Amino acid sequence: MRRLCVVVDGLNGLVATQKSKIFRLLPNFEEVVFVINAYNPYFERFYFYKNQEFSVARQIYSAKLSNIRSEIRDSFSTGDVPINIVENSNKNIAAYLIPILNEHEESVLILSTANLTNRHTVHLAIIKSIHQPILMLTNRGWPKKPLVVSAVDPVHHMDESGLIDVKIISQGRTLAAQFNSTFKIVHSRYIPSLLQDFSAEIHAAHLQAIEQLSDNNKNLDINVDLIGGNPERTIPNYIGSNGGDVLVVGSIARSASKHRFVGSTSESLMQKMPCDILFVNSDSSDSFVTNLA
């Protein structure tokens, strides 16, 4: 079964633009599970237990959760895809999500974010723990044909097979094909100031790595836009200049430790990107490719 799992923030719910994007993805799935993240760290403070006056705050929050459930049911129950709404009140939501996603290997996870500042903490813990593709939705809507950009790093010496880049490209391309929209591949060539004297050699090495990736995957018709500079700055600028709507990146480090999140680039982009982000890793199945094919 192709299952879509959507994590909904209990404080913010889903805005109209996020609902619209989920609707556009639904036809590719056989079931959707909405997980309302009802865990509220503020209610762990001692004064909520010591002072009965704060019971009103709990009642207000409970009513808000009820409204979110009703809005989801009203918005999505009229479609052809069956929906299920569950609620998680525990701090470790990743542990709650893993069995839901692992029950069907072709699952995809959606994280709804109200703004850039709440993309860290809880969502970072989820991305570290889950190997299925994860689409992080902002409040910004998609045009009729959203531009999808895959960011690759073929020069990484710990990923000589290029497996993660192949998945980044294939899932990005298929997502774009679903909407009959434009697809681009970008790679940022960063030369630290310490190595400026070797800029020509480094540039040649990047071109060679891109050519090798293309030669090894001729079926993907790889055409990479090579840009110069630190990817933490150049990729957001590239997205802004080209009007990118979804950025596809790798979520797992290219090292012997397969379950370590990429902290240097992907985590930084997670905080800075104004667009939606699709995280994929080399351990995941091609679920987004299968679902959207």
Residue-wise pLDDT tens digits, 27-84? 889 999 999 998 876 666 655 555 666 777 778 888 999 999 999 999 998 878 999 9
142-293: CATH class: alpha beta
pLDDT for 180-221, tens place per residue?
Answer: 999 999 998 887 778 777 778 888 888 888 888 888 887 778
Q: Which CATH class is domain 1-141?
A: alpha beta
Tell me how crowded residue 120 is: count the other CB atoms within 10 A of its CB.
12
The span from the CA of 176 to the CA of 182, in Å, is 6
Predicted local confidence at residue 141, as pLDDT: 93
The CA distance from 99 to 54, in Å, is 34
Q: Is the per-residue pLDDT at 85 higher than 60?
A: yes
Determine which of 3-12, 47-56, 166-175, 247-256 has the lowest per-residue pLDDT on average.
47-56
Q: Residue 289's pLDDT is what? A: 53
Calculated CA dihedral for residues 213, 216, 219, 222, nearest 10 degrees: 20
Residue 278 has pLDDT above 90, yes or no: yes
Give this prediction's pTM. Answer: 0.86
Averaged pLDDT score across all residues of the chain: 82
pLDDT at position 60 is 86
Calculate Rg over the CA atoms of the chain: 20
pLDDT of residue 112: 86
Output 123 or 185, whichever has higher pLDDT: 185
Of 281, 288, 277, 284, which Cα lies nearest the Cα of 113? 277
**172-179 average pLDDT score:** 91
Phi and psi (nearest 5°) for 86? Answer: -125, 170
> CATH 3.40.50.620 region(s) of the chain?
1-141, 142-293
